[in-house]
A and B are shown apart, each in its own frame.
Chain A
């Protein structure tokens, strides 16, 4: 569905995307990265708004640049606001559907249906200037869904939504995915991506850091430094012990909580009970800080920055 071959995008001397190679089949994918990581540049390349400085971009086997045929099958919800304040949500979505190639009648029906789908049926005839941020997000999503594209690209679609709104739109998108449609969902928040898909792409500094499922990335983390948090009656003594045994690369103490970074978590977990028994120290709580995808993301980011 998407194929990027050694794609680099430069804005003058600034690198937007750096030697990006990627091949994705149909399905739902989360594009995860912090602000300024190159997510929007990547989406602009995929939607044909930008030309790669180097490399090639293919979407559904075609170049996306000025590609009318492809745009008929593509729905895009950008991160920027960009709505007309004085027109109603309904008029705006209808207008965009007419631009999509629908007749006036078809566009009216499609706009009404899409706005209802995202929960905007009540407010769709009000001017956009009177909408809350969440309502504007819903309207933006409606314009991307209305023509029933095969491939939906969303850039931070949950910005400004309250928890109820997030849940409702998550359900809309889950149904979308269930119908066999493809989705590329960019976000800087892990839980947003996790709520929709387990397949994700992690980017930073315009580079693809990791891709695959959460399990794939866990496998990549074997041998990488992990963080383990231990609540102990004497954290200073435990820290000293772990450093003496070369079981910790670094330690951090906050009150009674000792956080240990180690490249040998297996050895730590295996030998810790014996060390505690001989030293007489008591650990009341222990958990890996690296169990969530967020931790993987943090670790990969640190690796990328050379901090690990």
Chain B
């Protein structure tokens, strides 16, 4: 664990550069900008349930997905491209430490700007139900970031040479398309779980009581079940990622995986 901590701290120190801090600021500003745009340009303020869906789409979905995609997907591929992987891999359990340390650094790097953006955007929206929306989004954020981070990390290890392409393809196909298919397959997506929790925690009963197709989009499982599944996803995927990493061969001389 000491090694993981060393990687975590090293990665955090490396992240304190101007370009990366600019990204941090952009992630924080993004929900604020969108909410301000709606708040000050819309003819009439949207109803609270619409605000809830908007915050859901902006923070636990977009900011969380974008932040973790940018940070965890290239965790290993960046080291391979830079040819720095070999220095890490010849340390005792070095590969595993780098993987887990970078994952933790990424998750803890993405949550603060999302939280900051949320904390500014929710009062700005003035929904009348600010506290509940804020608290729900914070909890969803804390569930979504680790889950998305683990997925992107795994995808990055599966195909290091095309890590970003694979991650973007996964996001578009699974999280943005299949997640909205009213069939059992949408249960494989993170978004389905988050959406189901949102509906229950925010008591969006006007949607929940609608029959057939809508039910397939949110399911009827209790919220705790989705929470447990979302909490189990990161350790499960990280274990798989570590196993793949230990099995894989990354040749320094070939500058690529072989």
| Complex contacts, B98 vs chain A, CB 8 Å | 99
Could you tell me the distance between the alpha carbons of A147 and B10 in the complex, rounded to whole angstroms? 19
How many B residues touch A, CB cutoff 8 Å? Answer: 33
**A157 CB to nearest chain B CB (Å):** 14
Q: What are 6 A-B residue pairs whose CB atoms fall within 8 Å in the complex?
A: A41-B253, A47-B86, A80-B83, A87-B13, A101-B92, A103-B2
Do A99 and B253 have beta carbons less than 8 Å apart?
A: no
B contact set with A: CB distance below 8 Å: 2-3, 6-7, 10, 13-14, 17, 82-95, 97-98, 246, 249-255, 258
Identify A71's interface contact among B94, B249, B252, CB under 8 A: B94
**A234 CB to nearest chain B CB (Å):** 51
| Complex contacts, A104 vs chain B, CB 8 Å | 6
Q: Pick from A71, A80, A86 the residue with the most CB of B within 10 Å.
A: A80
How many A residues touch B, CB cutoff 8 Å? Answer: 36
**A75 CB to nearest chain B CB (Å):** 8
0/1 interface trace, chain A 220-264, chain B, CB 8 Å (1 if under): 000000000000000000000000000000000000000000000
Could you tell me the distance between the alpha carbons of A69 and B90 in the complex, rounded to whole angstroms? 11
Do A68 and B93 have beta carbons less than 8 Å apart?
A: yes
A contact set with B: CB distance below 8 Å: 11, 40-41, 44, 47-51, 66, 68-69, 71-72, 74, 76, 78-84, 86-87, 91, 95-96, 98-101, 103-104, 107, 143
Do B252 and A44 have beta carbons less than 8 Å apart?
A: yes
Do A99 and B94 have beta carbons less than 8 Å apart?
A: yes
| Complex contacts, B13 vs chain A, CB 8 Å | 87, 91
Given A11-B258, A82-B82, A82-B86: A100 in contact with B92 (beta carbons within 8 A): yes
**B123 CB to nearest chain A CB (Å):** 37
Identify A96's interface contact among B2, B82, B91, CB under 8 A: B91
Do B87 and A78 have beta carbons less than 8 Å apart?
A: yes
Identify B84's interface contact among A50, A71, A83, A100, CB under 8 A: A83
Do A86 and B87 have beta carbons less than 8 Å apart?
A: no
**A279 CB to nearest chain B CB (Å):** 54
- What total count of A-B pairs have CB within 8 Å? 95
| Complex contacts, B251 vs chain A, CB 8 Å | 11, 41, 44, 49-50
Could you tell me the distance between the alpha carbons of A82 and B82 in the complex, rounded to whole angstroms? 5
| Complex contacts, B94 vs chain A, CB 8 Å | 71, 99
Contacts A49-B86, A95-B10 aside, 19 further interface pairs with beta carbons under 8 A come to A47-B90, A49-B251, A49-B252, A50-B258, A51-B249, A66-B95, A68-B92, A68-B93, A71-B92, A80-B83, A81-B83, A82-B85, A82-B86, A84-B14, A99-B3, A99-B88, A99-B92, A101-B2, A107-B6
Do B7 and A49 have beta carbons less than 8 Å apart?
A: no
Could you tell me the distance between the alpha carbons of A100 and B87 in the complex, rounded to whole angstroms? 10
**A4 CB to nearest chain B CB (Å):** 17
Could you tell me the distance between the alpha carbons of A80 and B97 in the complex, rounded to whole angstroms? 22
Could you tell me the distance between the alpha carbons of A66 and B3 in the complex, rounded to whole angstroms? 15
Could you tell me the distance between the alpha carbons of A78 and B255 in the complex, rounded to whole angstroms? 12
Identify A11's interface contact among B14, B86, B254, CB under 8 A: B254
